[in-house]
Structure 1
C-alpha cells in the first residue's frame, strides 16, 4: 500500500461508504435513499485525492456536510470524514491555512451539536477537543515530514556540491599535470635539439663528442618518456595509477637537473645558501619546475653567447628565494613572448608560486642578461 497510496486512500473511502449506506437506510428512512447516497459519496469520494489537493478535498467534504445540515439528515459515519480532511490539511498545508480549516470544522461541530445534541455542553467540549487533537496531530506530522524532506534536500545538495568539488579538484589536477607535461616536454626537447645540432656539427670531425651528444639525447628522451607515462597515467580514468605514486622530483634532484643541462652545453652553476629545511613535497616540486622552466627559457632565448648561468637558492627565516640569472640577450627575451606577459612557461611558474603564496618577478638585468626571481613563504620553525 505504501507504493500505491491512492489505492490505500480509495480503500478507506470505499470502506466508510459501504459502512454508511445501511446505517443511512435504517436510521434516516424519511429521506429518499439517493439523498443519502449522494451525501455519503460527497463525504467519502474526495478522500481519494487528498494527497494531491488537500484543500479542494476538504472543501468538497465541508460543502457536503453543510448540505447535510441544511437538509436535516442525521449524522452519519461518513460525516466523520471531515476529521480525516482536517488531519490531511494540517499535515500538508501551512499553519494558518490548517488553522482556518480547523475553525471551519469547529463551526460544523457547533452546528451539529445545536441541531442534534442531547447534552450540548459535554458534546461541544468533546467535539472541540477532538478538533484540536486532530489538528495538533496533523500539524506535528506535517512539521516532521517537512523537516525530514529538508534533511534529504540538504543531503542531495551536499552530495551535488561534493561532486562539483571533486570535478573542480580533478580539473585542477589535470591543469597541474598539463603544466608538468609542458615543462617536461619543453625542457627535454630543448636539450635534445641542442645536442642533436651539436652531434650533427661534430659527427665527422669529433666523433667522440658526437657520441656523447647522442647518449645525452637518448638519456633525456628516456627520462622524458618515463615522466610522460607517469603523468599521463593519472589522466586515464578508470585505470590503475601505480606509476603516479612514483617519487616526484624535488630540491634534491636539482643537482641532477643542473648536471644534465650543463652536459647540453649551457654553463650552469647551482648554489644553495642558508640552512636547508624540510618542505612539503608539492613545494619542492614547484621549486624544481620553476628552475627547470627557467633553464629551458634560458636555453631557448638567451642566445649562443651565454657564458654563465647561475641558479641560487637562499633559505631565509621565513622565505625561500630562487634566482636564475644569465648574461645572454636578456632584453630580447621580453619581446620574444616569454616575458612577463607571454609564454606558457612563465605563466606556469607564476601559477606554481602563487599556489604556495609566493610570487615571481622576471625581466632583463641592468648589466645585461635576464633574471627570474621567485619567493616562496616558509612556515616559521
Structure 2
C-alpha cells in the first residue's frame, strides 16, 4: 500500500536537487560586480537555508522562519530559496503561511539592507513571477499527491472487499455442500434403517444371529442418522424445510432441471452419456449445480439463445459442458461472478477443474472435468 510519505512530492532525490540548485543560484548571485564582498555571508546563509530545507524535522516551522529572514535581508539574492519554501508550503496546503512568508520577506526587505532591496533593478518583477509560479505548481502537485493517496486507499479498500466477498462465496458453497451431503447421507441411512427394520419384523424365519445383527444394524443406522442431523442440521437455512427439493439435487436429475427451463421458455438441448449412477454422488451434485448456474447466467446475459448441455457420467471422469451463443437481448446487467467462484470451489474440492469464458464467435462456454476416485482392479493394479 502506498503511503503519503512514499508518494510525497517532490521525491527525495528530485527535491534535494532542487534545493541544491537554489543554493547554487543564491551563492552565484553573491558575487555582484565581481568583487566578491558578499560571497562569504551569502554562501553561509544559502547553506543554512539548504540544510533547514533538506532536514525533514526542520520543515516546519524552522525552515519558514530561517528562509524568510534570509530573504528579507538579502532580497533578490535569495528569491530562489524562498521559491522552494513557497513550493513546499503550497504542496502541504499551507497557502496562508506561504503568502505570509512572501509578504514579510518583501515588507522587511524594503526597510532592510539597501544594496539588495527588491526595488533595485526591478527585482520585484522576477520575485512576483517566481513566487506565483511556485504557489501554482505547489498547489497542483499537492492536489495530485492527495488524489493518488485517495485512489490508493480506494484501491486497497476495493481489493479487500473483493477478497471478503470471494471468501464469503467459498464459505457459503462449502456450507451448501455440507448441507447437501447431510441430505444425501440422511436419505441413504433412512433406507438402511427402513430395510433393516422390515427384515427385523421377519426375524422368526431368520437364524437368531442374523436377527440379532439386523437389530444392531437398525439401531446403529438410526443413531447415526440422529447424530448426523444434530451435527449438520444447523447448516440449513432457517427458512428452508427438510423436504425442499432444492436441498436434495442428487435426488433430481439434470433432465428435470432442463425440462423446467424449457417450460419457462428457454431453449435447451441436453445430451447425456452414461448413467448418473456411474458417477459418485458428489459429482452428481456438482453437475446439477453447474448446469443450474449456466442456465441462470444464460437467461441473464443471453436471453433467447439456445443452450447446449452435454453431460458424461462415464469413467474416468465426469464431464459437463454448457455453451450458448449471444442472445437477442440481455435480461439484466447486474452480475457478481460469485456463483462461478462457488462452483470452482466445489469442483476444486473434488479434484477437478472448471473453466468459464468465451470460446470464439461470441459463444460462451462453461465446462468442468471431475475425475472419478481411483479404484483397485481385480488384478491388483489401478483401474
TM-score, normalised with respect to structure 1: 0.45
Q: State the structure with more CA Rg.
A: 1
TM-score under structure 2 length normalisation: 0.44
Structure with larger RCO (C-alpha < 8 A, sep 6+): 2
